[in-house]
């Protein structure tokens, strides 16, 4: 898991090799090497401001590392051209921390957007199935402003998986949710993992991690002292 990402048997879908990154001043991440295996379930924890969102952004090439390399699906993100980045964005679904929507579009239109934005057709039955999966069938025609926090998070998850990504990244997906809604969202993430998707979730919520560990074999990565370590089983 934390070995060199360049070993011959490297099957990792995400590999950080000696990554250093920051925003001026001392770097947030220093000499970080991490590997994420396909089909695995990882949490990413660490104090507020430690660099969790930054690490996630490096994974979906919102950022490229200042030093070292990040490879996703075996390709170094810094070397990707526009087409490769577009393909990466389809293969990596992201639920952002603030899960923004286009306010004038209905929820089903927002969820379909990653497909329709490029002029592709969306099968209404498939869209309906996806909305049913996240429990939003009856809210399909609502506007984003009319949704509760839990409904917004589930809509954001549906939007993140509509392109059938192989990796799902979620940044504090249960940040503003009550415990029941957090568990409901966790169930959806576990289901995705059982379908074979690689899951990476940044969270502060240790109870969520404990709940997940009763359902899947989840590993916990912790950012501490500008490095990423594998947390022990004591969580
Ligand atoms: N674009 C940016 N320019 C300058 N500083 C930034 C930028 N993005 C993040 N930072 C700073 O980098 C630090 C780490 O931010 P990041 O969002 O990665 O942390 P985090 O661990 O996700 O925090 P939280 O748990 O509070 O969401 C913070 O101090 C933040 O203010």
Distance 63 CA to ligand 1 centre (A): 13
Q: How far apart are the first and last CA of the chain?
A: 19
Arithmetic mean of pLDDT over the chain: 92
Instruction: Provide the token pair at 161.
Output: 């998986």
- Which of the listed residues 47, 49, 226 should we mutate to test ligand 1's pocket, taking the one with most ligand atoms within 8 A of CB? 49
Sign of CA dihedral 208, 211, 216, 220: positive
Domain-embedded: residue 170: yes
Of residues 122 and 11, more confidence is placed in 122
Domain-embedded: residue 116: no
Q: What is the pLDDT of residues 104-157, one digit of tens each?
A: 999 999 999 999 988 889 999 999 999 999 999 999 999 999 999 999 999 999
CB atoms within 10 A of CB 130: 20
Domain-embedded: residue 155: no
Order of strands, sheet of 227-230, starting from the edge strand that comes earlier in the sequence: 92-95, 167-171, 198-202, 41-45, 218-224, 227-230
Q: Which pLDDT band, with edges at 50, 70 and 90, does 97 fall under? A: confident
Domain-embedded: residue 85: yes
Q: How many independent structural domains does the chain possess?
A: 1
* 2 alpha-carbon distance from chain centroid: 19
**What local confidence, expressed as pLDDT, does residue 233 receive?**
63
Half-sphere exposure of 74 (CA within 13 A, CB side): 6
Calculated CA dihedral for residues 1, 229, 31, 97, nearest 10 degrees: 100
Domain-embedded: residue 146: no
Distance 54 CA to ligand 1 centre (A): 6
**What local confidence, expressed as pLDDT, does residue 98 receive?**
86
What ipTM was predicted for this assembly? Answer: 0.96
From residue 127, how far is each of 46, 162, 166, 193 by CA, in Å?
A: 36, 8, 18, 20
Q: What is the pTM of this model?
A: 0.92
Range of the domain at 205: 14-96+164-230
Residues whose CB is less than 8 angstroms from the CB of residue 79 and which lie 6 or more positions away in sequence, other chains included: none
Domain-embedded: residue 190: yes
**What local confidence, expressed as pLDDT, does residue 119 receive?**
87
**The pLDDT of residue 9 is above 90:** no
Are the CB atoms for 142 and 150 separated by under 8 Å? no
Q: What percent of the chain has pLDDT over 90?
A: 85
CB atoms within 10 A of CB 17: 18
Mean pLDDT of 64-68: 97
Distance 127 CA to ligand 1 centre (A): 34
| Residue 230 to residue 48: CA distance in whole angstroms | 18
**The pLDDT of residue 172 is above 50:** yes
Ligand 1 lined by 23 (C-beta under 6 Å):
yes
Q: What is the CATH classification number for the domain harbouring 207?
A: 3.40.50.300
**What local confidence, expressed as pLDDT, does residue 132 receive?**
95
- Residue closest via CA to ligand 1's atom 7 equals 23
């Amino acid at each position: 898991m934390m070995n060199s990402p360049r070993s011959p048997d490297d099957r990792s879908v995400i590999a950080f090799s000696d990554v250093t990154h920051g925003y001026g001043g001392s770097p947030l991440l220093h000499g970080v090497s991490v590997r994420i295996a396909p089909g695995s379930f990882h949490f990413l924890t660490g104090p507020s401001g430690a660099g969790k969102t930054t690490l996630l952004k490096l994974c979906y090439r919102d950022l490229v590392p200042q030093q070292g390399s990040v490879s996703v699906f075996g390709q170094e993100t810094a070397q990707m051209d526009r087409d490769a980045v577009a393909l990466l964005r389809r293969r990596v679904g992201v639920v952002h921390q603030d899960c923004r929507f286009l306010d004038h579009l209905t929820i089903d239109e927002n969820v379909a957007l990653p497909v329709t934005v490029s002029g592709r057709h969306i099968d209404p039955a498939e869209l309906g199935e996806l909305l049913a999966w996240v429990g939003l069938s009856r809210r399909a025609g609502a506007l984003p402003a009319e949704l509760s926090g839990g409904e917004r998070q589930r809509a954001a998850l549906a939007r993140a998986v509509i392109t059938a990504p192989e990796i799902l990244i979620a940044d504090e997906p249960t940040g503003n949710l009550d415990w029941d809604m957090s568990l409901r969202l966790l169930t959806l993430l576990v289901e995705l993992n059982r379908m074979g998707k690689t899951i990476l979730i940044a969270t502060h919520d240790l109870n969520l991690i404990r709940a997940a560990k009763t359902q899947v074999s989840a590993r916990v990565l912790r950012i501490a002292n500008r490095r990423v370590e594998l947390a022990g089983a004591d969580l």
